[in-house]
Homo-oligomer: A and B are copies of this chain.
Amino acid sequence: MTITLPGPTLGVVGGGQLGRMIGEAVAPLGVDVVVLDPTPDCPASPVVSDQIVGGFDDADAIHELASRVDALTFEIELADPDLLAEAAAEHDVPVHPDPDTLRTIQDKLVQKEALVDAGIPVPEFVAVATAEGLERVVEEYGGVMLKAREGGYDGRGNVPVRDPADAADALDEIGGAAMAEELLDFEREIAVMGLRGADGETRTYPVTETIHREEILRESVAPARTDDATVAEAESVARDVLDALDGRGVFGIELFETREGDVLVNEIAPRPHNSGHWTIEGARTSQFENHVRAVLGWPLGPTDLVAPGVTANVLGNVEETQPATLRGVEEVLAAPDADFHWYGKNDARPLRKMGHLTATDRTADADRDTLLSRVRDLRDALTFRDA
């Protein structure tokens, strides 16, 4: 293909931290970014060309976005696939990943069924509609992760249920259509950022280890501290997932490594993913830049590791919503081995993702355990609480 600059304008549905980091990544390449987000002054707003203030299901806003750009993508699964497809068709702009893929992924039950159809290994799962049904499944599986079929994120919509007596409360907490997955006694959680570009070209980033607490990602270690066979299996599963999906872009593929050494797919995100934030410093091309390269049909950048890196999320350590004032930043700024990323959110909420930091070690004897301790210490010195 022939590429000329000034570059294309990219429309992004969603202007949260992922939209912000997309904007930061592609400004040097001359890609103008316009985001659509319901929150005025959303995180992406100060670093992109323009924001259209509108809801993810606001047809007029999505048509306005499509009319102003050369390509469309989204950074949040709440994007409406029908509206995206319709606006893209009417304004004759490509949209990636394919809205059909988004539709499949949005419903976790449909997503899992599609993976099974493609022969991809997943945990046992079943749809549940009633407390009685859930009780039976909890007994059969010996514990389940109850998941909202739609709309969950950052731990919301995921409820572990180990005792059948908790079934009714768990369903109430989910509050909508639900599915139950066997609660795996896994060895560790891992993830692969997969990438599909023009002409079906796929690439994967080095396998990442992800550390969750209360269903929320806390740290990512790259490369994962696991054995070569598991790494090879994770890459193989990730490539199968990419082959089963339509459209270009980055896909965050979350996996379980079982105690038996099997690799099962947990969930897929059709966009850059928190477990790939380390790629900004630790990989030759970040997941954000490569997402845009893929969406635009540009040549993909190398996904090679530059240096082992560990990312720690900075979450809102507050009891209730309050204006965000993060203290202790001077220590992170003074750290020669850490890079800080602030998401520009005005309010801190309990466990809300407010930023992250990544520690990298470019020396030959980089040790990931040490990096993990280091980045945790730096992160734990940050606080939104009053002094």
Contacts and interface: CB of A to CB of B under 8 A. Distances in A.
Contacts of A2: 327, 330
A156 interface: no
Number of copies of chain A assembled together: 2
Interface string A324-345: 1111011001101001111010
B49 A48 contact: no
A340 B29 contact: yes
A352 interface: no
A181 B316 CA distance: 60
Given A299-B333, A302-B336, A333-B298, A342 B28 contact: yes
Nearest to A50: B46
A1 interface: yes
Contact of A5 (B28, B30, B49, B325): B325
Interface in A1-55: 1-7, 20-21, 23-24, 27-30, 32, 46-49
B5 A342 contact: yes
B46 A1 contact: no
Contact of A46 (B21, B27, B298): B27
A32 B46 CA distance: 7
B29 A47 contact: no
B5 A324 contact: yes
A346 interface: yes
A349 to B, nearest CB: 15
B24 A27 contact: yes
A379 interface: no
Most buried by B among A1, A20, A21, A284: A284
Contacts of A118: none
Interface in A42-84: 46-49
B362 A306 contact: yes
A112 interface: no
B325 A7 contact: no
Interface in A162-209: none
Interface of A: 1-7, 20-21, 23-24, 27-30, 32, 46-49, 284, 293, 298-299, 301-302, 306, 324-327, 329-330, 333-334, 336, 339-342, 344, 346, 355, 362
26 contacts: A1-B330, A2-B330, A3-B329, A3-B330, A4-B326, A5-B325, A5-B326, A6-B324, A6-B326, A6-B342, A6-B344, A6-B346, A7-B342, A21-B28, A24-B24, A27-B47, A29-B342, A30-B342, A30-B344, A32-B46, A47-B48, A284-B336, A298-B330, A301-B336, A302-B336, A306-B362
